[in-house]
């Protein structure tokens, strides 16, 4: 399913923007931020240290055919990147320093920048910010955290990157068309949105309100015959096409 993925990414970007040394340079699924050249070297299109978030593989096991909304275990990925070319001039010393850190771009300092980004990001996502609380509310907890390092040096430009892969027990997506309880995580997420384009996409995923019996049938994957037998249609004519 898709809504939980979108919500996790959006909440993380909102929570992290301006809260780490990368400032507002936090993006969602920017596939060009880190890349590999044909020679196998890391490359980036960024000119300053950055944080990138995206959702990757997910696994829902022992899921009934009637419940395809399950997201199961989902890999939420955070990538950090910094390069020796991402420097500014220190006004006091006239030396080149890593943007946002005010330290020379040595190999040790590039690695330290990744450590700092990692620590700051984890502190924000575990903190009391409203977006961070929404991010945490979209899962039942963390089952695993993995960190992977990448680095390269090509033509004098050194790039260091780290990937933190957080495996979450993601919530199932809501039933399309089912009214949202006011206190539910989905209602709170939608209410917090301040981007019209994102809200329109979320509304499309939530679907238009439908009669309660149709939401029950859809949420439980019932057949038309089962819905009739349980008296869920309240006398309305039901066909297989309507159930689908």
Q: What is the pLDDT of residues 69-108, one digit of tens each?
A: 677 899 999 999 887 777 778 888 888 887 777 788 888 8
CA distance 223 to 220: 9
pLDDT digits (tens, 9 = 90+) for 136-170: 999 999 999 999 887 666 655 677 888 999 999 99
Q: Is the pLDDT of residue 113 over 60?
A: yes
pLDDT exceeds 90 at position 208: no
Q: 116-125, 137-146, 209-218 — which is least confidently predicted?
A: 209-218
Per-residue pLDDT at 227 exceeds 50:
yes
In the chain, CATH 3.30.70.1700 covers: 3-173
Residue 36 pLDDT: 46
Query: Is the per-residue pLDDT at 243 higher than 60?
Result: no
pLDDT bracket for residue 238 (50, 70, 90): very low
Of 17-21, 44-48, 232-236, where does mean pLDDT reach its minimum? Answer: 232-236
Q: What is the pLDDT of residue 98?
A: 79
CA dist 178 and 206 (Å) reads 8
Give CA–CA dist 73/85, Å, rounded: 37
pLDDT band (50, 70, 90) for residue 110: confident
Number of neighbours of residue 83 by Cβ within 10 angstroms: 25
Q: What is the pLDDT of residue 242?
A: 42
- Amino acid 229: pLDDT: 53
Q: Report the alpha-carbon distance of residue 229 to residue 177 in Å, rounded.
A: 22
Specify the pTM: 0.77
Q: What is the pLDDT of residue 49?
A: 85
Answer yes or no: is pLDDT of 46 > 70: no
In the prediction, which pLDDT does 209 show?
A: 60
User: Which tens digit of pLDDT belongs to each residue from 157-204?
Assistant: 677 888 999 999 999 888 877 788 889 999 999 999 999 999 999 998
* pLDDT value, residue 201: 92
Do 76 and 10 touch, CB atoms closer than 8 A?
A: no
pLDDT, residue 239, reads 45
CATH number for the domain running over 3-173 = 3.30.70.1700
Question: Would you say residue 230 has pLDDT above 70?
Answer: no
* pLDDT (mean) for 16-40: 76
Strand (E) or helix (H) holding 215 = helix 212-220
Distance set, CA 186 to CA 11, 67, 142, 168, 171 (Å): 12, 18, 20, 17, 10
Residues 8, 14 contacting (CB under 8 angstroms): no
């Amino acid at each position: 399913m898709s809504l939980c993925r979108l919500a996790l990414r959006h909440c993380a970007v909102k929570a992290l923007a301006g809260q780490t040394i990368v400032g507002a340079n936090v993006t969602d699924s920017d596939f060009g931020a880190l890349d590999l050249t044909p020679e196998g070297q890391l490359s980036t299109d960024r000119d300053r240290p950055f944080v990138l978030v995206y959702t990757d593989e997910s696994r829902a096991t022992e899921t009934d055919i009637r419940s395809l909304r399950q997201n199961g275990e989902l890999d939420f990925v955070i990538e950090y990147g910094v390069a020796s070319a991402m420097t500014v001039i220190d006004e006091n010393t006239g030396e080149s320093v890593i943007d946002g850190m005010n330290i020379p771009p040595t190999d040790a300092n590039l690695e330290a920048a990744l450590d700092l980004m990692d620590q700051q990001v984890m502190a924000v996502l575990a903190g009391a910010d409203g977006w961070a609380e929404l991010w945490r509310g979209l899962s039942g907890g963390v089952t695993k955290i993995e960190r992977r390092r990448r680095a390269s040096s090509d033509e004098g430009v050194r790039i260091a990157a780290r990937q933190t892969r957080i495996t979450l027990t993601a919530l199932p997506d809501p039933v399309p068309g089912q009214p949202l309880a006011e206190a539910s995580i989905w209602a709170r997420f939608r209410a917090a949105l301040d981007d019209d384009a994102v809200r329109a996409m979320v509304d499309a995923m939530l679907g238009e309100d439908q009669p309660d019996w149709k939401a029950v049938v859809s949420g439980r994957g019932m057949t038309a015959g089962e819905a009739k037998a349980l008296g869920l249609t309240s006398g309305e004519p039901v066909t297989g096409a309507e159930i689908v």
